Amino acid sequence: MSPEISSIIRVIKKEAWNKRRIVLGLYIVFSFLFLAIAWNWPKVYTSSSTIEIVNQNILEPIMAGTAETTQVQSRAAMANKIIFSQKAMKKIIDSEIWAEERSNDPRKIEQLADEIRNSTQINNVRNNHIEVSYRNVDPIKAYETVKLMTDIFIEDSLAAKQSESQAAFGFVNTQVLAYHEKLKESENALKEFRSRNIDASENAKQNASERLIELKRELESVDLDISTQQSLLGNYQKQLAGESSFEDRASIDKENSLNQRIAELENRLADLKLNYHETYPDIVQLKGQIEDLKQQVNEVIAQREKAKGRVQNKAPTGETAQQIRAQMFNTENTISSLQARRNQILMLMDRERETLDKINDVEAEIAELTRDYEINQQMYQSLLSQRETARISMNIDLENQGLRLQVLEEPAVPVTPKGLRFSHLILAGLVLSFVIPIGVVYGFTLIDGKLRAETTIANAINLPVLAHVHDVATPYDRRKNTINLIIASSTILVVWTVYAIAIYFRLQG
């Protein structure tokens, strides 16, 4: 042991003996204070139950992909939410367990509920196990309260899960009914629109397209006829003026015949191009024939132009002139008829184009209505499937197959109190009643500034102490010290006797 510690122990012993009255007084006070606290310390009894929460069962693999069981929350958090709710507290306070403490004052009821909450502990023991414990000075009340809490938790948990699945089914069913109405509305809108535009069918569009193509061909034929008749009229006018001969007329007739043949072949070529590619043999053959005919037309025109330079024609007179004028009149009438026919064809083409535009607009509207109908149909079918899934989930929860709550450890009436007990406080009193007075004495030695040990001087002046003189006790002093020691020992013995008597009576109940 170091000199410093030895010096401190000697100082404490000396000061405790010098201030023995204070030490004994403090010892007696603290001893009986701890004894009084231990005697009046309430016994607290704790009762608890362990609940197993199982959210997976035999139905889960069977119904996989068909029904979803609702998931539980954090175990302890869920239990806290249910057991500490106003509804649960009201059930507990209104029970026969708390009949004596019951009051009509809302403040006292709330205060009692807070006391119950503060005396209750809910913990996660394992992943799917929770422990509910309640402490009270009355073991019967502790047992009955925790048993009631366990029953309330199981009952409300199952009810909440059933309510959740029923609410989910009700929501999905509401959506099913809403989309069923939307589906009927979109279907009726589609039917009504089609009935209003019955002439805008797919066949009508095809017929209009074919009719437009036919009119285009007819227009080309009429334009060719008009061109032919205009050429013929020009030839008659030249003959009448003496600028052309009958040989020119034969050349022009041949040219017109070739042009008419070219027009027929081009119409046939256009028909083939609608169904075949450019490399189709018939298309290639027709193109060759058309090129040959065009070359013949160019040759006829070239020969006629050469003949004009060689022959000098005279203007016809008499009956020949009258015949030419009659032919001119007929040709002009033919041109007028062809012009009227051409205008009629253009009008019919405009009408067919309007019909096609209307059909395209109708098809676009029908496509949009059909898209809305299909979307509503898909949503409706999906919701029907979800409703059946929700119905199965609801039935699972109604049969208590989705969540299983089992009490693993039933609450029991506690026999042994928990926490600080009489024995703990008695032991603390026996120890601390010695320690506290000695600590008080040592504290006085630190603050009064007196020199009581040679080590203090040696440390202060950094020089060794050569010797120190002890007090010399006379025979009177020794007798006095002996008497004081007997008194102190008797006092301690009396205190221990009182402690022993208190322990005996406590054990006897």
Q: What is the pLDDT of residues 117-157, one digit of tens each?
A: 898 888 887 777 888 898 888 888 889 988 998 888 888 88
pTM value is 0.47
Looking at the chain, the whole-number percentage of residues with pLDDT higher than 90 is 1
Identify the pLDDT of residue 57: 42
Q: What is the pLDDT of residues 247-277, one digit of tens each?
A: 555 666 676 777 777 777 777 777 777 777 7
Would you say residue 68 has pLDDT above 50? no
Strands (E), 39-104: 45-54
Looking at the chain, the whole-number percentage of residues with pLDDT higher than 70 is 77
* Residue of 201, 179, 223 lying closest to 375 (CA atoms): 179
Would you say residue 474 has pLDDT above 80? no
- Give every strand in the sheet of 45-54, ordered side by side: 120-126, 129-136, 45-54, 404-409
Identify the pLDDT of residue 324: 67
Mean local confidence (pLDDT), 399-428: 73
What is the pLDDT of the chain when averaged over all its residues? 77
Per the model's pLDDT, the better-predicted residue between 18 and 225 turns out to be: 225
Identify the pLDDT of residue 404: 67
Q: Would you give the DSSP letter of residue 471?
A: P
Identify the pLDDT of residue 71: 46
What tokens were used for 259? 């042009």
Identify the pLDDT of residue 309: 53
CA atoms within 13 A on the CB side of 397: 25
Confidence of residue 453 (pLDDT cuts 50, 70, 90): low
CA atoms within 13 A on the CB side of 499: 25
Would you say residue 311 has pLDDT above 70? no
Would you say residue 419 has pLDDT above 70? no
Residue with tokens 């366990």: 150
Q: Which residues of 23-42 are buried (b: 16+ CB within 10 A; e: fewer)?
A: bbebbbebbbebbeebeebe
Confidence of residue 399 (pLDDT cuts 50, 70, 90): low
Q: How far is Cα 358 from Cα 52, in angstroms, rounded to an integer?
A: 71
Mean local confidence (pLDDT), 361-375: 84
Q: How far is Cα 304 from Cα 251, in angstroms, rounded to an integer?
A: 7
Distances in Å between the Cα of 329 and the Cα atoms of 17, 127, 256, 326, 389 are 164, 112, 19, 5, 89
* Residue of 232, 258, 250 lying closest to 307 (CA atoms): 250
Residue with tokens 């193509």: 213
Domain ranges of the chain: 3-41+420-507, 46-176, 263-311
Per the model's pLDDT, the better-predicted residue between 164 and 314 turns out to be: 164
Would you say residue 386 has pLDDT above 70? yes
CA angle 215, 220, 225 (to 5 degrees): 120
Q: What is the pLDDT of residues 178-193, one digit of tens each?
A: 888 888 888 888 888 8
Per the model's pLDDT, the better-predicted residue between 18 and 224 turns out to be: 224
Would you say residue 55 has pLDDT above 70? no
Confidence of residue 472 (pLDDT cuts 50, 70, 90): low
What tokens were used for 356? 């096609």
Distances in Å between the Cα of 355 and the Cα atoms of 198, 212, 359 are 13, 10, 6
Is-contact 136 45, C-beta < 8 A?
A: yes
Report which residue type is found at 325.
Answer: R
Identify the pLDDT of residue 369: 84
Domain 46-176, CATH? 3.30.1890
Q: Would you give the DSSP letter of residue 448?
A: S
Backbone angles phi, psi at 2, to 5 degrees: -70, 155
